């Protein structure tokens, strides 16, 4: 019987073939118990083969936690990750660029190995879900045969390198960054200097400073196109940003180099990688991203180290070899550019044209955005779309960080025809880039870390907004909404006008899904600033929260006032007061529907049944105490808004101590008010015993308190205060979760 390995032998590049063969051998070794589970896990992750929710063999079905007894029994593909449990396969698509043939192969794989759906991520990857580990080698071979690799798609490696979807066709770009993204992808893939990172490393390119597309300021390494006049000659280069990132504690990237010439781009990147590999945290994963190293060293010292390292980077022809072929990086449109004049317009075209069409810098051509619900499309849509692409645009397909598909080089005269064809396959929805085009991570649908259903909420918001999109004022239509299922920010909620991230609260003896509301983030200017949390609302009240916010924004905004400006002017206190009615927690008996998440009929739970006793009495006391901590945190936020960073820091610190006290008092009522006593009791009772440990972050959140308690900051600036706010928020969340786990009689 022929195998894919045999059938595709001539089409797979040798190096890729060897890597896949090695991986397949490792699968066998692991099955035989000859390869350590942790070692295999890292190897698997570096091939993009990820775990998925419930892969530890347990699932709460709404009544009780059930064991999932997979056929391979106790065999694991990593710690607590059962072999047969469905997994996710992440597939890197550098700068989102796809050919029609690649799209077809991805579609084939979706229905042969997954659930028939292709999901676009916020890093321009494709993800397939419910994939069995045994199928992954052949899946990778079929991708490799069309030039796609999953190598280093996950794990502690350089992730998919992203770039503007409009690169090469944009009116405002300094130059097309696509060939540079391609060159860096090829250079770093498997490079020795990027194999020993303590955590992942994300790189992005942007062609201009003003638009959002590249998001360079929220990346580990961001490259912003620039030119300079050197002795009368215009030379290309980049402003290099380093140390940005979202995650639990967002950091704005710092400028490492104002202008790095194109000749120095790869050597400099290599030097940054070497410094990160050498000095970055390795043991504590929660502080292992480069942003923590940059923050710890300071940008000046980090810059000095990189410059020093740069001098030790050995010569490599590849550093500049690609520059000779930059001119070969051209686009081949399927048709000559022609204007739209006189072409008949189908129904619905006008709305679609308004939101989904971008006129390219090249006369007579447009880039069109296919607005996909939740970033999903089917295998059959993929085949049809490949046909449409071939006829209208050739191989000029890109995936976007907003989880859409962009077809570039559409002749303007073809716009009505391509709209008609896209509409026929369910890919002609208007509203790209508007409030209905919501970004979301997988959340509790498939992610192991998900706390609330980001996709369920997004689907609900989208349905409601589409119903009245034509009634919405322009100012509301243009808002960005982004949703994450937890604090890890995969949905990029920090850079949305209105962001939400999942958490949970307790009401009585039940947990209730919540979303923290994050307002005022900035998508433009490459993710220019981050929003801050204003409070958490039950998941089922979030549509009401959104309506209240947008109604008031429309009613009160000054002419042309942005949402960020309005939020800032209104102030956190007033916003909190506005949202307060939506933040009340009903009891399970009164409103049981609040205790199920969007799109999930089960009574909500985030983990197995909690342990402990005397919940009823303790909960009452704890609820009062933790409310004080939350109020104090809110005061800290107000102080931050007023620019009083010292006060903000002091209040945030106090909020953490109060939260710790709330938990300590569930075991030791007479702890008193002395900060040293509280922290010592908290440390010995909950931290040293690991009772407060988060399942994934371990003791990270508790250490935020210890760090601030042990060391008064020398200098409190805005950046520091922002970070303090975020850490306090996370610490309080951690206390909530720990209390539920330790003390609660959690029945759901």
| Interacting residues toward another protein by CB under 8 A | 1-4, 7, 53-54, 59, 61-63, 66, 68-71, 84, 86, 104, 107-108, 111-112, 115-117, 129-130, 132, 373-374, 376-378, 380-381, 383, 425-427, 445-446, 456, 459, 462, 599-602
Closer Cβ to another protein, 434 or 743, answer by number? 434
Residue 364, sorted as left (phi over 0), alpha (psi -120 to 50) or beta, turns out to be left
C-alpha span between 540 and 537 (Å, rounded): 8
Helical axes 299-310 vs 262-279, angle rounded to 10°: 110
C-alpha span between 350 and 346 (Å, rounded): 8
Other Cβ atoms less than 10 A from the Cβ of 694: the count is 17
Residues in the chain: 748
Closer Cβ to another protein, 2 or 341, answer by number? 2
Q: In whole angstroms, how close is the CB of 419 to another protein at the nearest point?
A: 15
**Closest Cα to residue 389, out of 345, 333, 340?**
333
Strands, sheet with 376-378, edge to edge from the N-terminal-most edge strand: 49-50, 87-91, 126-131, 117-120, 376-378
Q: In whole angstroms, how close is the CB of 527 to another protein at the nearest point?
A: 27
Contact assessment for residue 178 and residue 268, using Cβ atoms and an 8 Å cutoff: no
Closer Cβ to another protein, 53 or 77, answer by number? 53
Q: In whole angstroms, how close is the CB of 393 to another protein at the nearest point?
A: 19
Closer Cβ to another protein, 372 or 655, answer by number? 372
Q: In whole angstroms, how close is the CB of 429 to another protein at the nearest point?
A: 9
Other Cβ atoms less than 10 A from the Cβ of 221: the count is 26
Closer Cβ to another protein, 71 or 314, answer by number? 71
Q: In whole angstroms, how close is the CB of 328 to another protein at the nearest point?
A: 30
Contact assessment for residue 113 and residue 84, using Cβ atoms and an 8 Å cutoff: no
- Which of helix, strand or coil describes residue 397? strand
Other Cβ atoms less than 10 A from the Cβ of 540: the count is 22
| Residue with tokens 């102030």, as numbered in its chain | 571
Beta strands in 400-509 (DSSP E): 405-411, 439-440, 481-484, 498-507
Closer Cβ to another protein, 54 or 259, answer by number? 54
Q: In whole angstroms, how close is the CB of 649 to another protein at the nearest point?
A: 44
Q: H or E element: which one contains 437?
A: none
Closer Cβ to another protein, 128 or 738, answer by number? 128
Angle at 403 between CA 483 and CA 117, to 5 degrees: 100
Closer Cβ to another protein, 132 or 552, answer by number? 132
Output b/e per residue, 293-320; b: 16+ Cβ within 10 A: bbbebeeeebbebbeebbeebeeeeebe
Closer Cβ to another protein, 262 or 445, answer by number? 445
What's the token pair of residue 454?
A: 């980001």
Closer Cβ to another protein, 416 or 426, answer by number? 426
Q: In whole angstroms, how close is the CB of 387 to another protein at the nearest point?
A: 9
C-alpha span between 149 and 190 (Å, rounded): 11
Closer Cβ to another protein, 117 or 640, answer by number? 117
Contacts of 77 (CB under 8 A, 6+ apart): 30, 37, 40, 41, 44, 51, 83, 87, 133
Torsion of CA 417, 421, 422, 424, to 10 degrees: 140
Q: In whole angstroms, how close is the CB of 68 to another protein at the nearest point?
A: 6
Q: In whole angstroms, how close is the CB of 129 to another protein at the nearest point?
A: 8
Angle at 306 between CA 401 and CA 291, to 5 degrees: 45
Q: In whole angstroms, how close is the CB of 543 to another protein at the nearest point?
A: 16
Closer Cβ to another protein, 242 or 374, answer by number? 374
Closer Cβ to another protein, 139 or 518, answer by number? 139
Other Cβ atoms less than 10 A from the Cβ of 653: the count is 21
C-alpha span between 557 and 573 (Å, rounded): 17
Chain centroid to CA 648: 28
Q: In whole angstroms, how close is the CB of 74 to another protein at the nearest point?
A: 15
Q: In whole angstroms, how close is the CB of 469 to another protein at the nearest point?
A: 16
C-alpha span between 175 and 413 (Å, rounded): 27
Q: In whole angstroms, how close is the CB of 360 to another protein at the nearest point?
A: 28
Q: In whole angstroms, how close is the CB of 145 to another protein at the nearest point?
A: 13
Give the N- to C-terminal CA distance of the chain in Å, as an integer.
50
C-alpha span between 227 and 213 (Å, rounded): 19
C-alpha span between 51 and 87 (Å, rounded): 5
Give CA separation, 17 vs 45, 226, 660, in Å: 18, 38, 53
Q: In whole angstroms, how close is the CB of 380 to another protein at the nearest point?
A: 7
Closer Cβ to another protein, 214 or 491, answer by number? 491
């Amino acid at each position: 019987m022929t195998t894919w390995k045999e059938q595709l032998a001539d089409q797979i590049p040798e190096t890729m073939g060897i890597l896949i063969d090695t991986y397949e051998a490792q699968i066998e070794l692991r099955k035989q118990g000859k390869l350590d589970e942790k070692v295999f896990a890292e190897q698997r992750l570096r091939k993009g083969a990820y775990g998925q929710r419930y892969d530890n063999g347990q699932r709460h079905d709404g009544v009780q936690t059930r064991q999932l007894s997979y056929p391979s029994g106790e065999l694991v593909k990593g710690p607590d990750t059962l072999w047969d449990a469905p997994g996710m396969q992440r597939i890197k698509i550098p700068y989102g660029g796809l050919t029609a043939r690649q799209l077809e192969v991805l579609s084939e794989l979706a229905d042969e190995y997954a659930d028939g759906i292709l999901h676009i991520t916020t890093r321009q990857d494709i993800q397939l879900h419910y994939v069995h580990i045994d199928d992954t080698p052949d899946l990778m071979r079929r991708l490799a045969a069309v030039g796609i690799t999953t190598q280093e798609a996950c794990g502690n490696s350089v992730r998919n390198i992203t770039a503007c979807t409009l690169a090469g066709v944009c009116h405002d770009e300094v130059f097309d960054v696509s060939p540079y993204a391609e060159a860096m992808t090829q250079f770093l893939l498997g490079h020795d200097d990027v194999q020993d990172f303590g955590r992942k490393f994300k790189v992005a390119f942007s062609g201009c400073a003003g638009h959002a597309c590249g998001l360079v300021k929220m990346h580990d390494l961001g490259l912003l196109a620039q030119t300079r006049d050197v002795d009368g000659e215009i030379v290309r280069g980049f402003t290099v940003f380093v140390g940005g990132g979202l995650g639990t504690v967002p950091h704005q990237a710092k400028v490492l180099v104002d202008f790095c010439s194109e000749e120095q781009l790869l050597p400099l990147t290599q030097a940054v990688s070497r410094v990160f590999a050498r000095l970055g945290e390795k043991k504590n994963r929660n502080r292992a991203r480069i942003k923590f190293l940059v923050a710890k060293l300071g940008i000046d010292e980090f810059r000095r180290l990189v410059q020093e390292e740069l001098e030790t980077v050995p010569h490599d022809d590849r550093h500049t070899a690609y520059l000779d072929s930059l001119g070969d990086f051209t686009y081949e449109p399927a048709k000559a550019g022609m204007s739209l004049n006189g072409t008949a317009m189908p129904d619905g075209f006008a709305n679609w044209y308004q939101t989904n069409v971008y006129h390219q810098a090249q006369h007579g051509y447009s880039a069109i955005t296919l607005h996909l619900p939740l970033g999903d499309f089917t295998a059959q849509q993929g085949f049809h779309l490949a046909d449409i692409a071939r006829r209208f645009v050739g191989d000029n397909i890109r995936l976007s960080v907003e989880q859409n598909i962009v077809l570039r080089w559409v002749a303007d005269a073809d716009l009505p025809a391509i709209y008609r064809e896209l509409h026929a396959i369910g890919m002609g929805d208007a509203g790209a880039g508007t409030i209905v085009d919501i970004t979301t991570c997988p959340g509790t649908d498939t992610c192991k870390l998900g706390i609330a259903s980001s996709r369920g909420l997004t689907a609900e918001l989208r349905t409601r907004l589409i119903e009245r999109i034509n009634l919405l004022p322009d100012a509301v239509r243009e808002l960005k909404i982004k949703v994450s299922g937890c604090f890890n920010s995969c949905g990029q909620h920090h850079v949305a006008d209105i962001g939400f991230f999942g958490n949970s609260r307790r009401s009585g003896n039940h947990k209730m899904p919540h979303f923290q509301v994050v307002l005022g983030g900035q998508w433009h200017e490459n993710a220019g600033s981050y929003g801050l949390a204003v409070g958490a609302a039950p998941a089922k009240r979030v549509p009401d929260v959104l309506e209240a916010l947008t109604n008031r924004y429309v009613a009160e905004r000054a002419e042309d006032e942005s949402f960020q400006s309005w939020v800032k002017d209104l102030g956190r206190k007033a916003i909190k007061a506005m949202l307060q009615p939506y933040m009340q927690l009903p009891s399970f008996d009164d409103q049981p529907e609040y205790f199920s998440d969007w799109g999930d009929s089960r009574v909500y739970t985030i983990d197995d049944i909690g342990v402990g006793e005397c919940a009823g009495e303790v909960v009452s006391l704890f609820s009062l105490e933790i409310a004080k901590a939350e109020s104090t945190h809110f005061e800290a936020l107000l102080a931050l808004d007023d620019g009083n960073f010292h006060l903000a820091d002091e209040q945030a610190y106090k909020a953490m101590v109060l939260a710790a006290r709330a938990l300590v008092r569930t075991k030791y009522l007479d702890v008193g008010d002395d900060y040293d006593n509280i922290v010592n009791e908290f440390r010995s009772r909950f931290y040293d015993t690991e009772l407060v440990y988060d399942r994934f972050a371990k003791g990270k959140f508790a250490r935020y308190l210890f760090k601030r308690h042990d060391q008064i900051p020398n200098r409190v600036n805005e950046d520091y205060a922002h970070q303090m706010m975020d850490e306090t928020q996370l610490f309080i969340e951690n206390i909530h979760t720990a209390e539920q786990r330790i003390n609660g009689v959690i029945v759901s």
